[in-house]
Structure 1
Amino acid sequence: MKIGILQTGHAPDVVLDELGDYDAMFARLIDGHGFDFQTWNVVDDDFPGAVDAADGWLVTGSKHGAYENHPWIPPLEEFIRAVYADGRPMVGVCFGHQIIAQALGGTVVKFPGGWSVGRTDYKIGGESLPLNAWHQDQVVALPDGAQVVGQSDFCENAALLYDNRIWTIQPHPEFPARVIEQLITHRGRGVVPDAQLEAAQQRLPETTANQAIADHMAAFFKRET
């Protein structure tokens, strides 16, 4: 099965050099499930020719906001709507979670309550799952037909399901602790409150449920959910 990765941003250089770009992180995350991958850098205006260029689609995270005025965002939203209409599976993570909601009629804002950073407990599918977060933006109004299937104390709409055709999640199952550590050092200072960064730093050694989410994503692509 071929998974098309729609890359909506690039990892910071300090992460890129050590762990590769976001598409490489996702390929490692769901490795072992029989997938082939092809990346389109939509952030650089590189788009697939049609929705049938892959059997399933994955929309990555990004430093950009879904509500920002970038020339690649409207065609990405159009492509998302086309995939939804076609019915082949799509997964979105962080920015991907947000842009899919926006493309289908939801609302994304810079959340006035601040940031979620580092290891955070989420309730997903009846389980309590710790996952790494790095976001301020949130989906605050749902599109028609979207079902909330995951949330945290900070993020009410942390995972969404659309008619079993699209599944999206706000935190980053593709991020190991090392990515959060680098983001704290190189992107967080002066942006995220120091106390919050320190708390995230202290939780870096604790385990996350990345593999559980990876297995769910793989099953979703294969229509096993």
Structure 2
Amino acid sequence: MRIAILETGRPPARLSHFPSYAAMSADLLGPGYACAAFDVRAGEWPDPAAHEAFLITGSPAGVYDPLPWIADLVAFLRALPPDRKLVGICFGHQVMAEAFGGRAEKASCGWGLGLHAYDITARAPFMDAAAHIAVPVSHQDQVTVPPPGARVLAGSAFTPYGVLEYADRAALSCQCHPEFRPDYARALTRNHGAALRDPALMERALASLEAPHDSARLGGWIRRFLAA
């Protein structure tokens, strides 16, 4: 399967020794996929006819930022044929919701950091029998209104719309970061330190990242979704 990874951000400069978000996403998918990265911030766009699936990475940007590439990305997503497989992670989740009739914004509950648990609220055929998943997160924004007809597959009191399956198109998105390895999640959390103004939040987040996580499980769901 040929997958276009729409790169909407990269690790902060202080963490540039880590792989790019496009590379992390390709690693999450594993072998068997022909992945090509496109830096949409620089005006790089794939030919929709040349790819069977598209994955949108995370980004430090917000969907509400007045950046031309974000408007271009929304237009690109809306123009995709509905049978093209589409996956969004964090910012990708938020911009997909915006593109298809929902809303994402800065959350009133503040920063989501560390390992967050989502309860499974509906079960798609590509999922297993897990009752909940715990996956690293790093976000201030989140989906506050899901698109019409979208089904909430997983969420929490902090993030009610944590994983969405979309109506009338082959699309799946998640607020969490299954592509983040724990070492990167810890480094990114520490990098947020000065902006948090809450040392206790950072310490709780770092401590939570020592627990077992379900990134591989969520990655498996994404792969089975793509294969369906």
Q: Compute the TM-score of the two structures, normalised by the length of structure 2.
A: 0.91
Asked if the contact 1:51/1:79 (under 8 Å) is kept, the reply is: no
Per the TM alignment, residue 203 of structure 1 is displaced from its structure 2 partner at its CA by 2.0
Q: Give the direction of change, closer, same or farther, for the CA distance of 1:192–1:135 in structure 2 (3 Å limit).
A: farther
* Distance in 2 separating the partners of 1:86 and 1:203: 38
Asked if the contact 1:15/1:182 (under 8 Å) is kept, the reply is: yes
- Counterpart position of 1:105: 101
- What is the DSSP-based 3-state SS (H/G/I as helix, E as strand, rest coil) of the residue aligned with 2:183? helix
* Distance in 2 separating the partners of 1:45 and 1:153: 37
Identical columns (%): 33
Report Cα offsets for 1:18-77 as digits up to 9, x if no partner: x31001101111113x111000001222112x3122110000000000111001011101
> Equivalent of 2:54, from 57, 64, 67?
57
Asked if the contact 2:147/2:166 (under 8 Å) is kept, the reply is: no
Equivalent residue pairs, number: 219
Q: Compute the TM-score of the two structures, normalised by the length of structure 1.
A: 0.92
* Distance in 2 separating the partners of 1:43 and 1:175: 21
- Counterpart position of 1:175: 180
Asked if the contact 1:117/1:197 (under 8 Å) is kept, the reply is: yes
* Distance in 2 separating the partners of 1:90 and 1:52: 14
What residue ranges of structure 1 are gaps of 5+ in the alignment?
A: none
Q: Give the direction of change, closer, same or farther, for the CA distance of 1:86–1:21 in structure 2 (3 Å limit).
A: same
* Distance in 2 separating the partners of 1:189 and 1:179: 18
Which amino acid letter does the alignment assign opposite residue 193 of structure 2? Answer: G
> Equivalent of 1:117, from 88, 113, 138?
113
Per the TM alignment, residue 158 of structure 1 is displaced from its structure 2 partner at its CA by 0.7
Worse-matched range after superposition: 139-148 or 62-71: 139-148
* Distance in 1 separating the partners of 2:50 and 2:82: 12
CA RMSD of superposed structures (Å): 1.4
Asked if the contact 1:51/1:82 (under 8 Å) is kept, the reply is: no
